[in-house]
């Protein structure tokens, strides 16, 4: 018993720490380290290559028309889709080398020749069906426009129903267009007379006319539905110098060019 008491008496109590408790500094230093790493990463991400930035700024400025011209260096590292080169987009007025321009010109010539061939075939079909002169043709940057206007009326006033004459013309045109891999836009128009029921405005009337031609080309002419669309312009685009109102009760079939804009820019503008 006495030996146990002696051993207890011989033990010393642990010395008490009388200074400030600094264990919090370990957590604080960890936090500071993490913040420092965060700011380093943010700084690295915010660093801008000045040359690339200037080239991009000039390209965008030209695209929006705030500068007359630029000298864009694509080799500086800005990745630009090929379709935008020479277009009205990012590199609208960028200088292109003669070799690239020559390639674009050849592609444009081939596209114009193909569209012209379609025009000749459509015109021949109209002649064979007894409808010579029933359509006007134009080739521009959009493609080939087949304008269904003639001395005969395609639509009666305030009506979207195709006349017999109009159906015969569409039957002559559709077989030429259906086998191609192109897309088509049907544009409807109306004269300036205010429509009556069931069309509240000429917008609805012209859109119904365009849709009527679209349905005839898809349902009877064999044109694939996913390659064709329609739009109505109301009486907003009358033919210049046209005294006969029936000429504005018309539909345009636009055979869209499938070339990129850089090539289409070398096609006729009107």
CB proximity list for 82: less than 8 A, separation 6 or greater: 260, 262
CB atoms within 10 A of CB 58: 19
CB proximity list for 233: less than 8 A, separation 6 or greater: 187, 188, 189, 206
The verdict on whether omega for the bond into residue 198 sits within 30 degrees of 0, i.e. cis, is yes
Are 114 and 50 in the same domain? no
Measure the N-to-C terminal CA separation of the chain; round to a whole number of Å: 119
What whole-number distance in Å separates Cα of residue 149 and Cα of residue 46? Answer: 60
Nearest to 174 by CA among 139, 127, 130, 215: 215
Residues 62 and 56: beta-carbon distance below 8 Å: no
Flag whether pLDDT at 260 surpasses 70: yes
Are 139 and 240 in the same domain? yes
Q: Which of 63, 95, 127 is the last residue of a domain?
A: 95
Are 168 and 230 in the same domain? yes
Which H helix or E strand runs over 127? helix 98-128
Supply the range of the domain harboring residue 61. 24-95
CB proximity list for 213: less than 8 A, separation 6 or greater: 148, 162, 166, 170, 186, 188, 230, 251, 253
Are 34 and 151 in the same domain? no
Flag whether pLDDT at 188 surpasses 80: yes
SS3 call for 185: strand
Are 165 and 213 in the same domain? yes
For the segment 34-88, what is each residue's pLDDT rounded down to a tens digit?
Answer: 888 887 877 766 666 666 666 666 666 655 555 444 344 333 344 444 544 444 4
Which pLDDT does position 143 carry in this prediction? 95
Which H helix or E strand runs over 148? strand 143-148
Are 162 and 60 in the same domain? no
> Full-prediction pTM beyond 0.75?
no
Which range among 47-56, 98-107, 185-194, 237-246 shows the weakest confidence by mean pLDDT? 47-56
Are 225 and 209 in the same domain? yes
Are 255 and 176 in the same domain? yes
For the segment 75-129, what is each residue's pLDDT rounded down to a tens digit?
Answer: 334 444 454 444 444 444 445 678 888 899 999 999 999 999 999 999 999 999 9
Task: State the average pLDDT for the chain.
Answer: 78
SS3 call for 143: strand
Which pLDDT does position 197 carry in this prediction? 82
In a domain, 1, yes or no: no
In a domain, 12, yes or no: no
Positive or negative torsion for Cα 16, 21, 26, 29 = negative
Are 180 and 87 in the same domain? no
Are 132 and 243 in the same domain? yes
For the residues 159-163, what does the mean pLDDT come to? 83
CATH of the domain at 126: 3.30.1330.60
CB proximity list for 152: less than 8 A, separation 6 or greater: 134, 163, 165, 246
Which pLDDT does position 74 carry in this prediction? 38
In a domain, 16, yes or no: no
E-state strands within 28-142? 136-139
SS3 call for 10: helix
Which pLDDT does position 78 carry in this prediction? 41
Which pLDDT does position 174 carry in this prediction? 94
Are 77 and 134 in the same domain? no
Are 218 and 106 in the same domain? yes
Number of domains the chain is built from: 2
CB proximity list for 80: less than 8 A, separation 6 or greater: 59, 74, 90, 91
């Amino acid at each position: 018993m006495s030996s146990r008491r002696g051993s207890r008496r011989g033990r010393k109590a642990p010395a008490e720490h009388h200074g400030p408790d600094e264990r919090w500094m370990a957590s604080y230093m960890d936090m500071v380290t993490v913040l420092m790493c965060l700011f380093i990463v943010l700084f690295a991400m915010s660093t801008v290559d000045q040359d690339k930035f200037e080239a991009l700024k000039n390209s965008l400025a030209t695209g929006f028309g705030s500068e007359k011209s630029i000298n864009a260096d694509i080799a500086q590292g800005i990745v630009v889709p090929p379709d935008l080169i020479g277009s009205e987009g990012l590199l609208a007025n960028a200088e292109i080398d003669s070799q690239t321009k020559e390639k674009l010109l050849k592609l444009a010539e081939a596209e114009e020749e193909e569209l012209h061939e379609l025009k000749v075939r459509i015109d021949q079909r109209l002649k064979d069906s007894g409808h010579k002169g029933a359509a006007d043709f134009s080739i521009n940057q959009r493609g080939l426009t087949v304008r269904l206007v003639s001395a005969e009326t395609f639509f009666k006033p305030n009506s979207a129903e195709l006349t017999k004459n109009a159906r015969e013309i569409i039957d002559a045109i559709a077989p030429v267009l259906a086998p191609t891999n192109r897309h088509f836009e049907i544009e409807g128009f109306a004269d300036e007379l205010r429509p009556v029921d069931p069309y509240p405005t000429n917008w609805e009337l012209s859109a119904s006319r365009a849709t009527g031609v679209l349905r005839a080309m898809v349902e009877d002419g064999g044109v694939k539905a996913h390659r064709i669309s329609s739009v109505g312009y109301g009486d907003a685009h009358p033919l210049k110098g046209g005294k006969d109102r029936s000429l504005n009760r018309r539909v345009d079939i636009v055979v869209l060019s499938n070339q990129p804009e850089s090539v289409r820019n070398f096609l006729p503008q009107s």
